[in-house]
Amino acid sequence: MTGIFDLQGHLIFYRSYHMNHVNVAIHLVCIPIILLSFITTIIPYDIVGFNNPQINLGSIIAWTYGIYYILLDWTLGIPSFLILASYTYAAKSYYLGLNNSTSLTPTQFVNYALAAHVGAWLAQFYGHGIHEGRAPALLDNLLQALVLAPFFVVFEIAFALGYKLNIKKHMDNKAGILIRDFKQKNKKKTK
C-alpha cells in the first residue's frame, strides 16, 4: 500500500491501470468532468456559520484537493489549486446569478452537472472494459480513483508538454513491471 504522500508510488499504481492510449484519452476528458461536475452539484450547500456564500461544500472540497496536490508536488499543485478554486468561485457565482435568470434554473444547472458526472463515469468504465481490458483502479484503491485521478491528469498534461519526463519514464517502467506481474498472476489462476 502506497503512503498518502508517496507521489511516485501513486503515479506508478495509477499508470499500471492506464496504459492504453484510448483509455488514457478518455480519462483526460472525463476525470476533470467528474471532479468539476461533483463540485458543481455540491456548491449549493453553504457551510453553516459562514456568511460568505463562496464558502460552501464545493469550495471546501476544491481547497482540500488543491492543498493536497500542493503537498504532493508544489510545481503542479499550485496551478491545480488555482484552477479548482477559480472554478468553484465561478460556478458558485453563476449559480447565485441563476435566481435572476429565465433561461436556466439553479436546479437545472445542478441536474446538468449530475448528468455530465454520470456520463463521464460510464465513459471511463467503457475505456477500462473495452480498451484497457482491466478493471478500474477504483476497485482496488478508492483514494487513487477519487482524489489522485485529477492530479494524474495534470501530470499527463505536463508530460505531453515535455515537463517532468524523468518521472514519466520511471513511472512507465515501474508500471510495466506491475502489469507484467498482474498478467502472470492471472495466467496462473486460469491454469
How many alpha carbons lie under 13 Å from residue 70 in its C-beta half-sphere? Answer: 13
Q: Which element (helix H / strand E) includes 135?
A: none
Cα–Cα dist 31/53, whole Å: 26
Cα–Cα dist 76/81, whole Å: 9
Which residues fall within 8 angstroms of residue 154, CB to CB, at 6 or more apart? 69, 76, 79, 80
pTM of the model: 0.89
Cα–Cα dist 102/162, whole Å: 46
Q: What is the pLDDT of residues 73-126, one digit of tens each?
A: 999 999 999 999 999 999 999 888 887 766 788 889 999 999 999 999 999 999
Instruction: Look at 118 and 190; give whichever has higher pLDDT.
Output: 118
